[in-house]
């Protein structure tokens, strides 16, 4: 019955989106988005790669009743960002029960980047081991010779084991040495929150490596790559430098907005300034977006008011950030990609793409029932 209802919804969506009064280069946030097969695009928590005139959209394949990885990471391609061709499964789950990415594990928020030096396509993603809930909190990595894959899974682990943040000075290290988990068994007290801010969970995870959950990958103007992820039980974001081949961490990282309870990071750079949009931590339920800026990728980062304006702005219009990218050939068009989660029927999750506008020098997001790419030069 769910499949029938979804098919009917897709048919109705196609009818409305092909009517004479609708532009053929329009995006309809939150609506069914059919691919070249007429099926709703299945690429949740996704990311975008532009290569040789083609956009590649990667995301989590969702099932009707499960958010676990039963298929893997899917890939779609497009020349115009409107019409998408299904390229297949870029990274498949494994049938080997000993594999980290065995069928039934959790693979979330895949992001793919191209490394010019090696000629490899590198995929990073949040990985949780099968039947372990969200306790593993690992970063997984896979590589391919082509953008559509198949990607070969290489490894998964926590981040920068044995390393302290590179900007942690002697005073902060001395404070870190005084923190003891046994003294903070009750969560959410003012004392506990202060200890988290100072690095209580950072210290807890130094030997095993830092936790990595919701994540993104950012390539800077100098081709350096950075892994940005929710860490310390989703209480603190971390920004970690990747190696020249984008396939490992260098050990250089910082904590961003300690104890700020941020996840779902999405970042872009405009006119030399870094902008990041995140969400709070409310599970599958939408919440108010957060906006941060910095003049250096390693901070300091400054928080600004909610970038969303208008009805339902306090819930990010019902969605959660996943990626931001610049549209090629458009001078100042950046698209904010977000997911409208449907946890009871994950495959029916929707995509909310909105253009980022600027007001008084800061990014803003305004709801639109539809918008046209041709409106931007």
**Tell me: the pLDDT tens digits for 129-182?**
999 999 999 999 999 999 999 999 999 999 999 999 999 999 999 999 999 999
| Cα dist from 74 to 48, 57, 285, whole Å | 12, 8, 24
How do residues 307-356 score in pLDDT, each as one tens digit? 999 999 999 999 999 999 999 999 899 999 999 999 999 999 999 999 99
Give the pLDDT score at 350. 98
Give the pLDDT score at 6. 44
- Name the burial class of residue 26, with classes exposed (0-12), middle (13-18) and buried (19+) by CB atoms within 10 angstroms of its CB: middle
pTM, rounded to two decimals: 0.93
More confident residue, 146 or 5: 146
Distance CA 27, CA 338 (A): 13
- Which sequence spans correspond to the domains of the chain? 34-157
Task: Determine the CATH number of domain 34-157.
Answer: 2.115.10.20
How do residues 254-297 score in pLDDT, each as one tens digit? 999 999 999 999 999 999 999 999 999 999 999 999 999 999 99
Cα–Cα nearest to 119, from 246, 224, 216: 246
């Amino acid at each position: 019955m769910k499949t029938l209802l979804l098919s009917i919804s897709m048919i109705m969506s196609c009818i409305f989106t092909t009517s004479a009064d609708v532009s053929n280069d329009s995006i309809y946030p939150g609506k069914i988005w059919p691919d070249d097969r007429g099926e709703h695009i299945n690429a949740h928590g996704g990311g975008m790669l532009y290569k040789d005139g083609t956009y590649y959209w990667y995301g989590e394949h969702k099932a009707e009743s499960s958010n676990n990885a039963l298929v893997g990471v899917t890939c779609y391609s497009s020349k115009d960002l409107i019409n998408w061709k299904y390229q297949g499964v870029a990274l498949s789950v494994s049938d080997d029960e000993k594999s980290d990415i065995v069928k039934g594990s959790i693979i979330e928020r895949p992001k793919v980047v191209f490394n010019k030096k090696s000629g490899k396509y590198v995929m990073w993603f949040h990985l949780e081991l099968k039947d372990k809930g969200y306790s593993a909190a690992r970063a997984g990595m896979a590589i391919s010779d082509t953008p559509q894959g198949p990607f070969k899974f290489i490894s998964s682990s926590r981040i920068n084991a044995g390393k302290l943040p590179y900007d942690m000075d002697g005073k902060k290290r001395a404070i870190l040495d005084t923190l003891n988990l046994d003294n903070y068994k009750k969560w959410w007290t003012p004392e506990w929150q202060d200890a988290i801010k100072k690095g209580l969970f950072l210290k807890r995870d130094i030997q095993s490596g830092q936790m990595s959950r919701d994540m993104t990958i950012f390539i800077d103007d100098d081709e350096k790559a950075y892994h940005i992820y929710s860490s310390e039980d989703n209480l603190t974001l971390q920004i970690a430098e990747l190696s020249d081949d984008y396939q490992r961490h260098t050990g250089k990282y910082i904590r961003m907005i300690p104890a700020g309870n941020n996840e779902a990071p999405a970042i872009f750079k405009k006119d030399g300034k870094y902008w990041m949009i995140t969400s709070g931590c409310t599970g599958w339920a939408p919440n108010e977006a957060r906006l941060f800026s910095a003049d250096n990728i390693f901070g300091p980062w400054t928080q600004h008011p909610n970038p969303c304006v208008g009805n339902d702005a306090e819930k990010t219009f019902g969605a959660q950030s996943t990626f931001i990218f610049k549209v090629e050939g458009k001078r100042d068009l950046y698209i904010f990609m977000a997911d409208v989660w449907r946890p009871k029927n994950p495959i029916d999750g929707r995509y909310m793409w909105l253009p980022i506008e600027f007001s008084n020098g800061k990014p803003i997001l305004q709801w639109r029932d539809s918008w046209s790419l041709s409106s931007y030069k």
